[in-house]
Structure 1
Amino acid sequence: MTQRTWLITGISSGFGRHLTEQLLEQGNRVAGTVRNVDVVNDLKTKYGDSLWVAKLDVTDTPAIHQVVHSAFHDLGNIDVVVNNAGYGLFGAAEELTDEQIRHQLDTNLIGSIQVVRAALPYFRTQGFGRIIQLSTVGGQVAFPGSSLYHASKWGIEGFAESLMTELAPFNIGITIVEPGSASTNFRYGSSQLAPKMEAYEASPAAYARRIIEEAKVPSLGDPAKMVTIMINSVDQNPAPKRIVLGSDAYVNIHKALTERLAILEAQKELAFSTDFPIHK
């Protein structure tokens, strides 16, 4: 396996931690960002200079650019950037506070956009690069009680897909990863809930809240297996556009896309009817 240098946001837990551990064990170098550097002291002790760590809150755009600059400066070429930092926000749209809405979008959407923008000048200069954008089944499917989380993930998928052709001339590839449920701390650790409104107790939005509060729904996916696939995808050329991970992700995305295509096909005549007449 080719050894590379990776820049990964949010390596303290979840997919970021699994990625970092596997990559370091395989002899790669990792530049990792965390909000609290002490939480990865064990990895720093074990792997030494192979792990470069910086404190970063991805809602701080100037800090993103400074950290990315420092990583490239200190390590030289970076082969892969992984946008992993993020969290879930759940509750009915009306229940969410303005602060929660802003922070969700600043973290999951704007933060990811700015990490990519900060890395692009270096990727173009070195003549290559790969971006892995962590999304979710929720980047293609929408469930009640998750509106702002979906807004952030549908948004970042649109951004990433647009860049796929935009950056191809520079030998920069982008892959969107869409995992289903996985045994990380995402659902029952880092997720946040909106303040409760009694009016939504009978709404389907309440189901998402109950999943988080009761913490009883098991996750199907093995994060170690998922991370191995993410790592191996970098050897593929061209970069795969999307990688769906987990049976629940496949089933739900397949259902959503099938229904969406059926709706589109049913409107074909209507869509064509709005064009100007063709004059022969």
Structure 2
Amino acid sequence: MSKTILITGASRGFGKLWAEAFLKRGDKVAATARNTEALNDLVATYGDAVLPIKLDVNNRAESFAAVAKAKEYFGTLDVVINNAGYGLFGAIEENTEAEARNQIETNVFGLLWVTQAVLPIFREQGHGHIIQVSSVLGVVTLPLLGIYNASKWAVEGLTESLAQEVKPFGINVSLIEPNGYATDWSGASAAQSQPIAAYDALRKDFNESANQEGFWGDPAATSEAVLKLVDAQNPPLRLFFGSHGLPWVTNVYKERLDTWQEWSEVSVAAHGA
């Protein structure tokens, strides 16, 4: 049975790959982008099955209007994938106020506005699936991506609470946690803070690690995974994309649990009598 799916940030990267994967199998897609001309090839191939919508997710009114337009055009919505977002590279000391605010505005508030817009529709229907594209960096962290890490940790907390709130309405909620992929996320799509020389050695180590063979996943390989997630009867709250994420998170959480256990007497004593 075909589904109707709204995807934000569908002009390139994961968003466009997934939009085409859905369209190829007969689903209908509302594809949002700041520049809808990037979607012309999908329209030429799939015609009325794809609805391009110009959207800046930072604009709450536009987000609500885009969701309403998709619902009116297709008559229903089954899945919303909040994919719009970007990375901000730079040490915490290097990030300007504008850079930090813009990162949170897009990655957190942009996702929140689209989520809020679709919830009344899903509640009325009694079904729906909200998929937030987070990151493995929403569970663990790397240096030189502190504000990006913070934005994804915010998405994680927001989404975990959301899942508990909307479960009684028949709404499923999932987080996709990709490791690094060879999209333009770290290239043209990224923002870069003005470097401070004191962090040059850390930056060099960071870049060397990122250039190791096998570090970056193949974006095309994620299409089958996202189809399986959308089709799942009981989808998980979190799903890692890529081979690096789960082993990394497993090691980090073991270290955290060991440390918390080591300090447990202090923790319990802090509760009081």
Q: TM-score, normalised by structure 2?
A: 0.94
> What CA distance in whole angstroms lies between the structure 2 residues aligned with 1:211 and 1:44?
40
Shift of 1:93: 0.9
Shift of 1:225: 2.2
- Match of residue 249 from structure 1: 245
> What CA distance in whole angstroms lies between the structure 1 residues aligned with 2:198 and 2:272?
47
Shift of 1:200: 2.2
The SS at the match of 2:130 is strand
> What CA distance in whole angstroms lies between the structure 1 residues aligned with 2:109 and 2:208?
27
Check whether the contact 1:145–1:207 (CA below 8 A) recurs between aligned residues.
Answer: no
Amino acid at match of 1:95: E
Shift of 1:76: 1.2
Larger CA deviation: 250-259 vs 37-46: 250-259
> What CA distance in whole angstroms lies between the structure 1 residues aligned with 2:190 and 2:208?
11
- Match of residue 97 from structure 2: 98
Shift of 1:259: 1.2
> What CA distance in whole angstroms lies between the structure 2 residues aligned with 1:246 and 1:131?
21
Check whether the contact 1:92–1:206 (CA below 8 A) recurs between aligned residues.
Answer: no
- Match of residue 222 from structure 1: 218
Shift of 1:156: 0.2
> What CA distance in whole angstroms lies between the structure 2 residues aligned with 1:150 and 1:271?
27
Amino acid at match of 2:108: L
> What CA distance in whole angstroms lies between the structure 2 residues aligned with 1:114 and 1:149?
19
- Match of residue 73 from structure 1: 72
The SS at the match of 2:231 is coil
Mapped pair 1:240 → 2:242:
no
| 1:1-280 equivalence runs, <5 A | 2-202=1-201, 204=202, 207-208=205-206, 210=207, 216-217=211-212, 219-277=215-273
Shift of 1:253: 1.3
Q: Structure 1 vs Structure 2: percent identity of aligned residues?
A: 38
Larger CA deviation: 238-247 vs 20-29: 238-247
Check whether the contact 1:180–1:249 (CA below 8 A) recurs between aligned residues.
Answer: yes
Q: What's the Cα RMSD here?
A: 1.7
Shift of 1:234: 2.2
Shift of 1:62: 1.2
* Number of corresponding residues: 272
> What CA distance in whole angstroms lies between the structure 1 residues aligned with 2:4 and 2:27?
6
Shift of 1:54: 0.6
In structure 2, the CA distance between the partners of 1:119 and 1:173, relative to structure 1 (3 Å rule), is same
> What CA distance in whole angstroms lies between the structure 1 residues aligned with 2:37 and 2:232?
35
The SS at the match of 1:132 is strand
Shift of 1:237: 2.8
Check whether the contact 1:135–1:153 (CA below 8 A) recurs between aligned residues.
Answer: yes
> What CA distance in whole angstroms lies between the structure 2 residues aligned with 1:104 and 1:61?
16
> What CA distance in whole angstroms lies between the structure 1 residues aligned with 2:241 and 2:211?
22
Shift of 1:113: 1.1
Larger CA deviation: 110-119 vs 220-229: 220-229
Shift of 1:227: 2.4
Amino acid at match of 1:157: E
Q: TM-score, normalised by structure 1?
A: 0.92
Shift of 1:3: 1.2
> What CA distance in whole angstroms lies between the structure 1 residues aligned with 2:24 and 2:232?
21
In structure 2, the CA distance between the partners of 1:206 and 1:111, relative to structure 1 (3 Å rule), is farther
Deviations 1:191-240 (A, max 9, x none): 111011223224x35644x469xx84554322222221122112223221
The SS at the match of 1:150 is helix
Larger CA deviation: 130-139 vs 249-258: 249-258
Runs (4+) off by over 6 Å: none
Point out where structure 1 has 5 or more consecutive residues left out of the alignment: none
